[in-house]
Structure 1
Amino acid sequence: MSGEKPPVEFCKGVNGLDKVVLREAKGSSAEQVYLYGGQVTSWKNDQGEELLFVSSKAIFKPPKAIRGGIPICFPQFSNNGPLEQHGFARNRFWSIDTDPPPFPTNTSNKAFVDLILKPSEEDLKIWPHSYEFRLRVTLGPGGDLMLTSRIRNTNNDGKPFSFTFAYHTYFSVSDISEVRVEGLETLDYLDNLQEKQRFTEQGDAITFESEVDKIYLGTPTKIAILDHEKKRTFVLRKDGLPDAVVWNPWDKKAKAMADFGDDEYKHMLCVEAAAIEKPITLKPGEEWKGRLELSTVPSSYCSGQLDPQRVLQG
């Protein structure tokens, strides 16, 4: 059909940064992946609604990381280590991977891109390990978004290395006070607002009325984010990522961030598939794989509740 846009298009984004746009054949589902940070900054449904949050004040200018979308935290989550906050993968330029290893994948799916990150001389000074980080970003036939990371130890000095990791996903929500997260009930978590003390989640679902910054441990492969106002539920499915971070900066922290609008905390929520509590260790030649799949389903409420557990069990 003439005029049909290609499933993969290479173009320029904000400030002339290289980006890749993926399109799904059946709908107008478009998604943008910046080579800077290997970062997804847009994921839309077939109605053209944006599903990810990017701050209106995001600075698309190296070396500042892009505030929103799906930054990749590697080789360190947060600032509990020698590196800058959340490591360096999110503010390095990635390359198109022209020779990716075979992926078990749906061969009919054309809307994907393979990226690769390798350490620069400067990186080796701050984190003295050789690695190959391969990232495949796929837009599925139904508009689902999939990110698959493969990290291989390519050290030739025989040394293993350890890292922590997160897909720092910013979801766009109508109103944070109308949102609930299901699938993390009764789990233990580390509270970053209370010196990483360990607690057990008590509620039947997580709701939001103040700042939250928690690392849930031993989480299920599926987590749901219910947006009451939009009658929409995000479903996260994950493999190789046992932890889940839930973060919203609330008003005071929002005002303190130069690249974040004062009131934007009301319209975003980070729920991050992660491996934090137990760092991943790779010997030379070993590879780790971590996968995240995001989808949306309509949700209907009965007396304020989701139809019991339908989403999490589906």
Structure 2
Amino acid sequence: MAGRASSVERVKERATGLDKFVLSEAHGSSVEVYLYGGQVTSWKNNSGEQQLFVSRKASFKPPKAIRGGIQICFPQLGNHGFLEQHGFARNRLWSVDESPLPDTTSDCHIDLILKQSEEDLKTWPHSYELRLQVALSPRGDLILTSRIKNKNADGKPFQFTFAYHTYFSVSDISEVRVEGLDTLDYHDNLQSKIRCTEQGDAVVFESEVDRIYLSAPSKIVTIDHEKKRTFVLRKRELPDVVVWNPWDRKAKAMPDFGAEEYKCMLCVGAARIEKPITLRPGEEWQGRQEISSVPSSYSSGLLDPEMIKQMQRM
């Protein structure tokens, strides 16, 4: 890799007509970010291996959200009131941010911004700025940092929830486990959001799962046994974790999702759901999600020693 430099390139896709940015880090990792939705749709590690899932049936035509990658869910997750499913940020056209977040961790990043539109004001009557920085570290880690500011001129506060709805690419959902959520309470969206407590030492998948784990640790680990790969998710100011897989019946009912694709994806994302954020005019909130992909193996419920060493160094 000697002599190679990091780069950020703006590209217009012929097939979709949408603009995206391609970030290439000097050590080999890369990310693709669309202005539509402010959405990351590709993340490859230093070896060029794809880490994120995007459905082969995903629509890249507004106003439909892109199925996969990392969706920005604001000002809500789910379907409440007059707002669209998971809010409007994931299906709006963002702009390049001219006042970006100061960055000291990476020279390979892109800064985007979303402001209210006349259409948004009809259903969510607030003035805001949502800034997003997508960055790659030299190690190939993917770092997303969001800032939300209340710009209301009428003195009114506003309240919102937020999530990075992150679709990981996995080998076989039956060979995947999520660690770090044991003994936590969660809302089960398949049972009218009743509050349950996680009984297992890890979350495993044998049927549809749609949960919001509450007050989770700052580090969550997703182990893909077959690929011998582990995703280490670290989060800040995002106490909750969304875990979702639609399984077979729901997958067949979604027009932008392949009938068998549930087997090769899993959503595990940092969120702020249980306790919404309230901002007064002029106030700003900042949240961060950082994902690392490290080699791993799994045996008898234990992480291998080499992976533990790598995680401790992060």
Sort the TM-score into its range (normalised by shorter chain): over 0.9
Deviations 1:266-285 (A, max 9, x none): 00000010001111000000
Task: Tell me, in whole angstroms, the C-alpha distance in 1 between the residues paired with 2:302 and 2:174.
Answer: 15
Residue 45 of structure 1 deviates from its aligned partner by 1.0
Task: Tell me, in whole angstroms, the C-alpha distance in 1 between the residues paired with 2:134 and 2:76.
Answer: 21
User: Would you say 1:259 and 2:256 are equivalent positions?
Assistant: yes
Task: Tell me, in whole angstroms, the C-alpha distance in 1 between the residues paired with 2:78 and 2:87.
Answer: 8
Task: Tell me, in whole angstroms, the C-alpha distance in 1 between the residues paired with 2:74 and 2:167.
Answer: 17
The residue that corresponds to 1:124 in the other structure is 121
The residue that corresponds to 1:61 in the other structure is 61
In structure 1, the residue corresponding to 2:186 is in which secondary structure? strand
Task: Tell me, in whole angstroms, the C-alpha distance in 2 between the residues paired with 1:301 and 1:191.
Answer: 27
Task: Tell me, in whole angstroms, the C-alpha distance in 1 between the residues paired with 2:130 and 2:255.
Answer: 30
2:283 to 286, 299, 304: 286
Q: How many residues align?
A: 310
> Aligned residues: percent identity?
71
Task: Tell me, in whole angstroms, the C-alpha distance in 1 between the residues paired with 2:118 and 2:23.
Answer: 32
RMSD value, Cα: 1.8
Question: What amino acid is the match of 1:289?
Answer: Q
The residue that corresponds to 2:266 in the other structure is 269
Equivalent residues of 1:224, 1:312 under 8 A apart: no
The residue that corresponds to 2:308 in the other structure is 310
Aligned residue runs from structure 1 range 27-106, under 5 A: 27=28, 29-100=29-100, 102-106=101-105
Deviations 1:120-170 (A, max 9, x none): 111111110000001000011111000000000000100000001100000
Task: Tell me, in whole angstroms, the C-alpha distance in 2 between the residues paired with 1:200 and 1:180.
Answer: 17
Task: Tell me, in whole angstroms, the C-alpha distance in 2 between the residues paired with 1:311 and 1:265.
Answer: 32
Residue 6 of structure 1 deviates from its aligned partner by 5.2
Deviations 1:59-102 (A, max 9, x none): 000000000000100001101333011000000000001222x4
Equivalent residues of 2:54, 2:167 under 8 A apart: yes
Task: Tell me, in whole angstroms, the C-alpha distance in 1 between the residues paired with 2:120 and 2:85.
Answer: 15
The residue that corresponds to 1:16 in the other structure is 17
User: Would you say 1:177 and 2:171 are equivalent positions?
Assistant: no
1:297 to 278, 284, 294: 294
User: Would you say 1:143 and 2:140 are equivalent positions?
Assistant: yes
Task: Tell me, in whole angstroms, the C-alpha distance in 1 between the residues paired with 2:69 and 2:267.
Answer: 10
Equivalent residues of 1:44, 1:50 under 8 A apart: yes
5+ residue gaps, structure 2, are none
Measured at CA, do residues 243 and 303 of structure 1 come closer, stay the same or move farther in structure 2, by a change above 3 Å? closer
Measured at CA, do residues 283 and 246 of structure 1 come closer, stay the same or move farther in structure 2, by a change above 3 Å? same
Aligned residue runs from structure 1 range 98-247, under 5 A: 98-100=98-100, 102-106=101-105, 109-247=106-244
Task: Tell me, in whole angstroms, the C-alpha distance in 1 between the residues paired with 2:104 and 2:150.
Answer: 23
